[in-house]
Amino acid sequence: MDGKNRSDIHPGLKVAVILKKDQRSGVKTEGVVKDLLTNSAHHPHGIKVRLEDGQVGRVCDILED
């Protein structure tokens, strides 16, 4: 599953995100969702989330349900 639909993502979900600083290189960072920051139901670049460690990025992959 990709991270473009807000309904697929919830706090506690393990995901891979691309941080703002890594957008050019495409380096993925794994973490657990703490907060959803995108309000719209769908976003073409991925839903923006805050991970439990405080990092913010756009979800590119959902690693587990």
pLDDT at 64 over 90: no
Q: What is the pLDDT of residues 33-52, one digit of tens each?
A: 999 999 999 999 999 999 99
Q: Report the pLDDT value the prediction gives residue 1, as an integer from 0 to 100.
A: 76
Higher pLDDT, 2 or 3: 3
Q: What is the pLDDT of residues 5-20, one digit of tens each?
A: 999 999 999 999 999 9
Residues in CB range of 27: below 8 A, 6 or more apart: 18, 19
Global model pTM greater than 0.75: yes
The DSSP element (H or E) to which 31 belongs, if any, is strand 29-36
